[in-house]
Amino acid sequence: MTTKAWAATSPSLIEPVTIQRRAPDDDDISIQILFAGICHSDIHSSRSEWVKTTYPLVPGHEISGIVSAIGANVGRFKVGDRVGVGCMVNSCRSCESCKEGEEQYCLKGATWTYNARDPKHAGKITQGGYSQHIVVDQAFVLRIPDSVPLDLAAPLLCAGITVYSPLKRWGICQGKKVGVIGLGGLGHMAVKLAKALGAQVTVFSQTLGKKELGLKMGADHYYATSDTSVLKPLRRSFDFIINTVSAKIPLTLYLTLLRRDGTLVEVGMPVEPLSVVPFALSAQRVSLTGSSIGGIRETQEMLDFCGAKQVFPEIETIPASYINEAYERVLKSQVKFRFVIDVSTMGTPSRM
Ligand code: NAP
Ligand code: ZN
Ligand code: ZN
């Protein structure tokens, strides 16, 4: 099937292209995409900042839409169902991580939604959600609850699960003091989800520019990190801090804000290595760790949780023609708080 898409054709340009999607195999679901969120990872990848990017690259791993066709073995979904796809479209399914529902840590390497070789389909490079259709194995398709609007569902598939998973793993609940560094796509979901889990939440942002919005979405306290002296009184007061920043920041400073045995989890993936002063780890036996998205089972749990609690992202819906400008605004931290592409603005492919 030919489908319209927008692709990075070089590190500096996203433009319209036409791509081929496979016909659904027996286990596949064909999805008409309606919305695709813009994650900062799309920008890192479009610009070949992590691994070498194969151009043209269709980014997008925050995908929501409607089932348009199913393979013979598909029992869990039917045509017309509301579904989502996140950062993975397959994994080995037999390693220790896959068996435990942590497919993102597949020991053979999960098949990422874009810019990855797909071992099950002749090593073809995967292409993501800035497109009108995608074909995905049913095991990697999520059900979107009726209580979650499809445009608001899209950012949950990466930003939502990436912060939900560590919040759950480190037992965030009422009485816990949580810090969130960076109030962008991931950061604002971390504020909302930590709050929904009952925690007291503090935002660390570069400026006070988004303070009012941050407090409105549930943060209890808000600090600008441009003047680090304001953080001194907060030393040794947090149980858990999540760093969502896409650039290198001084982690040592934040480690000193943790209580004894507290945890700082790194989810931001800057290109530059981070550094820490070892004393900041040993002084209060704090942990510095990281976390990658979440498994399929946990992603479904998060979608159901957001539906039940009505926890949704703040989005700005844009036409496909605005993607390049949207990237520039994300890079300047001028997104409030996730851009979501209305995929219907890509036009109808001339031939399907
Ligand atoms: P985003 O919307 O651009 O948010 C990042 C925020 O970081 C910005 O809004 C800004 O917050 C802050 N920031 C940016 N540059 C900064 C700088 N130089 N110094 C201090 N703060 C800065 O990006 P996102 O989509 O949330 O993604 C954030 C990072 O997470 C990216 O690196 C992305 O690749 C990564 N990621 C990781 C996973 C995973 O599985 N671990 C999943 C998805 C994304 P303020 O304006 O509030 O300062
Ligand atoms: Zn992402
Ligand atoms: Zn595996």
Neighbour tally for 109: CB within 10 Å: 13
Ligand 1 pocket member 162 (CB < 6 A): yes
The yes-or-no verdict on residue 300 having pLDDT over 70 is yes
Ligand nearest to the CA of 40: 1
- Cα–Cα distance measured from residue 102 to residue 117, given in angstroms and rounded to the nearest whole number: 20
Atom of ligand 1 nearest to the CA of 38: 25
Q: Predicted confidence band at 347 (pLDDT cuts at 50, 70, 90)?
A: confident
The CATH number given to 160-290 is 3.40.50.720
Type of residue found at 140: F
- Facing residues of 94 across strands? none
Atom of ligand 1 nearest to the CA of 210: 47
* Opening angle at CA 322, ends 317 and 327, nearest 5: 90
- 117-118 and 63-70 strand pairing: unpaired
- Cα–Cα distance measured from residue 300 to residue 26, given in angstroms and rounded to the nearest whole number: 23
Neighbour tally for 208: CB within 10 Å: 12
The yes-or-no verdict on residue 350 having pLDDT over 90 is no
Encode pLDDT of 77-125 as tens digits. 999 999 999 999 999 999 999 999 999 999 999 999 999 999 999 999 9
- Cα–Cα distance measured from residue 272 to residue 40, given in angstroms and rounded to the nearest whole number: 15
- Cα–Cα distance measured from residue 249 to residue 245, given in angstroms and rounded to the nearest whole number: 8
The whole-number pLDDT of residue 349 equals 46
Structural contact between residues 192 and 311, judged by C-beta atoms closer than 8 angstroms: yes
Distances (CA, A) of 235 to 219, 230, 257: 19, 10, 4
- Cα–Cα distance measured from residue 170 to residue 265, given in angstroms and rounded to the nearest whole number: 9
Ligand 1 pocket member 46 (CB < 6 A): no
Atom of ligand 1 nearest to the CA of 206: 48
Residue-averaged pLDDT of the chain: 97
Strand spans (E) along the chain: 2-10, 13-20, 28-37, 63-70, 82-85, 88-90, 111-112, 117-118, 124-125, 133-137, 142-143, 177-181, 200-205, 221-224, 238-243, 258-266, 287-290, 315-318, 338-342
Atom of ligand 1 nearest to the CA of 41: 34
Pocket test for ligand 1, best of 246, 293, 336 (most atoms within 8 A of CB): 246
The whole-number pLDDT of residue 351 equals 39
Ligand 1 pocket member 303 (CB < 6 A): no
Question: If we measure between CA atoms, which residue out of 294, 317, 310 comes closest to residue 142?
Answer: 294
Helices (H), 20-157: 40-46, 96-99, 150-153
The yes-or-no verdict on residue 352 having pLDDT over 90 is no
The yes-or-no verdict on residue 216 having pLDDT over 80 is yes
Residue 64 CA to ligand 1 center (angstroms) comes to 22
Domain extents in the chain: 2-149+313-345, 160-290
Residue 189 CA to ligand 2 center (angstroms) comes to 12
Encode pLDDT of 39-90 as tens digits. 999 999 999 999 999 999 999 999 999 999 999 999 999 999 999 999 999 9
The yes-or-no verdict on residue 254 having pLDDT over 80 is yes
The whole-number pLDDT of residue 348 equals 58
Q: Which fold has domain 2-149+313-345?
A: Quinone Oxidoreductase; Chain A, domain 1 (3.90.180)
Peptide bond preceding 233 in cis form (omega within 30 of 0):
no
